[in-house]
Amino acid sequence: MEATINYKNKKYKINLAQPLDISIPLREGMENVNCFYAPPMETAPVIAGDFIGSTRQGGLLNFLNVRLNPHGNGTHTECVGHIAKEIFTINQCLKQFFFLAKLVTIYPQKRPNGDRVIEQEQLKEVLQPGEADALVIRTMPNDDLKKTMQHSGANPPFVDEAATKYIVHCGIEHLLIDLPSVDREEDGGKLLSHRAFWQYPDQIRKNSTITELIYAPDLIQDGFYVLNIQIASFEIDVSPSKPVLYKIRE
């Protein structure tokens, strides 16, 4: 099914029947990606008198409570409310859902202290101002282990503050990355890249979002795509999300 999207006075043709899902499925237990020592996702049937909301346990239907931490359990999209003292919710901040995106692949650089960091100079090689509204960063090495990686205490790679400022300079409103965070796992609460991306608190970019813990398989080539960010209408700072890329047809 072919569709034409009019975006910023340009037309982009995509095939809706060929989505490229770059989210990580949410599963129960430890066989799922996890970070920041978040408890794993759990489900439990509602039980009320003779009613049990589980067909496996003899109920007529499944009616489950779900316990999860969006920031720690899988692919999620967050707004400035993640770091702000003021209340901002993802449902109120993300009002458009299709964007022109550029997918790039970067190998984080190792610093003398052992940190692995995406540097500004690396981004300057693959991203120019005004090219796109969304940036999807795939880090190397890249394999299926990213779907089940236990990141807590491992000091995963992150984005240098200067690199984040360059991303903003390039006009990127939506940043997607396959890491647990754009900031260092333990940074003393500075949150330099989060603050730089949202320009908090001085010039808040309240309609911009960061999506973390994506997974873009190698078969998806670097280049330009139409991006669809799907969220639940949560009135909190974050939602589990399903970012989907579509190849742009000539």
Taking CA atoms, 81 is separated from 183, 191, 198, 207, in Å, by: 16, 13, 10, 11
CATH of domain 2-24+74-249: 3.50.30.50
The predicted model gives 191-200 an average pLDDT of: 98
The predicted model gives 78-101 an average pLDDT of: 97
Determine the pLDDT at residue 9. 84
Task: Determine contact, residues 170/129, Cβ cutoff 8 Å.
Answer: yes
Determine the pLDDT at residue 96. 96
d(CA 107, CA 97): 28
Least confident piece of the model among 1-15, 42-56, 84-98, 232-246 = 1-15
pLDDT: is 5 or 202 the higher one? 202
User: Domain extents for the chain?
Assistant: 2-24+74-249
**pLDDT at 167 exceeding the cut of 80:** yes
Confidence of residue 236 (pLDDT cuts 50, 70, 90): very high
Q: For residue 96, which of 203, 2, 230, 205 has the smallest C-alpha distance?
A: 230
**17 CA to centre of own chain:** 23
Determine the pLDDT at residue 152. 97
Confidence of residue 5 (pLDDT cuts 50, 70, 90): confident
Which DSSP category does 69 fall into?
-
Confidence of residue 59 (pLDDT cuts 50, 70, 90): very high
Determine the pLDDT at residue 240. 98
Determine the pLDDT at residue 1. 80
**pLDDT at 35 exceeding the cut of 80:** yes
Determine the pLDDT at residue 72. 97
Determine the pLDDT at residue 206. 98
Determine the pLDDT at residue 31. 87
d(CA 42, CA 55): 17
Task: Determine contact, residues 198/85, Cβ cutoff 8 Å.
Answer: no
Residue with tokens 């931490």: 69
The predicted model gives 37-44 an average pLDDT of: 96
**pLDDT at 146 exceeding the cut of 90:** yes
Confidence of residue 7 (pLDDT cuts 50, 70, 90): confident
Determine the pLDDT at residue 220. 98
Task: Determine contact, residues 71/194, Cβ cutoff 8 Å.
Answer: no
